[in-house]
Amino acid sequence: MTVTEIVVDDVQSVANAVRRTAAADDPQPNAATELDRVLAWAVTTGAITDAEHKLLTAVFTPEPGQPGGHIAVAAARGVTSAAVRQRCSRATRSIRRAVLDAAGTAE
């Protein structure tokens, strides 16, 4: 499993956990909406910063017509793709911990 697959899997796991523990306003949200909800919750709870929210959004759900993924985001920000992957990984781990804490579930 690649680092990207692990990060994506972590984000999906977090989104699923938040979906189970939070009331849904939209019964059929799309992936971008769901991720934005998870990330907004994570910022509100202090699990991640607004900058980390923007980074994860740029990597995983870019605006239409904008390139996404670690390589494109790294190039746009003038950093290495490894740095972007590491920042995403740290942010997703923080979100995961916050979800587990909120759900009262120990790792």
Q: How far apart are CA 35 and CA 42, in angstroms?
A: 10
The ranges assigned to domains in the chain are 3-19+29-103
pLDDT tens-digit profile, the chain (107 residues): 554 455 556 666 665 555 555 445 555 668 888 889 999 999 999 999 999 999 999 998 888 888 888 999 999 999 999 999 999 999 999 999 999 998 887 66
SS3 content of the chain, % helix, strand, coil (to 5): 70, 0, 30
Q: How far apart are CA 73 and CA 14, in angstroms?
A: 22
CA dihedral 9, 47, 57, 87 (to 10 degrees): -70
Structure tokens at 28: 């059929």
Structure pTM?
A: 0.70
Strands (E), 16-107: none
